[in-house]
Amino acid sequence: MLFRTIGTMELHIGIQNITRELTYDVDMSPEEVEEALEKAIADNGIFRVEDSKGRKAYVPVTTLAYVSLGEDEPRRVGFGHA
């Protein structure tokens, strides 16, 4: 099940035994991410997400280490940030 809503959120997915995490900007609310994750875990299936550019990620829940949500913030560039 894939969701598309308005607003961008940063999603970090950790996979067991992999040092780098997957990072996606998704057009999903936190509730939608939780619903998709809970359904995938209940079915012992695949956690699926689609980023804001249309790229899809399919991660078997048996390999998930963590899923972290956060509001997307603009990247800071330069010096003197408080």
pLDDT of 8-59, one tens digit each? 788 999 999 999 999 998 888 888 889 999 999 999 999 998 888 888 989 9
Residue extents of the structural domains in the chain: 9-71
Q: What is each CA distance from 73 to 11, 13, 47, in whole angstroms?
A: 12, 18, 25
The mean per-residue pLDDT over the stretch 59-81 comes to 75
- Quote the pLDDT of residue 47: 93
Query: Which residues have C-beta within 8 Å of that of residue 26, sequence separation ≥ 6?
Result: 8, 9, 10, 11, 33, 49, 50, 51, 52
Rounded-to-integer distance, Cα 26 and Cα 34, Å: 13
Of 4-8, 46-50, 74-78, give the range with the top mean pLDDT. Answer: 46-50
Identity (one letter) of the amino acid at 48? R
Q: What confidence score (pLDDT) does residue 78 get?
A: 61
The whole-model pTM stands at: 0.72
CATH of domain 9-71: 2.30.30
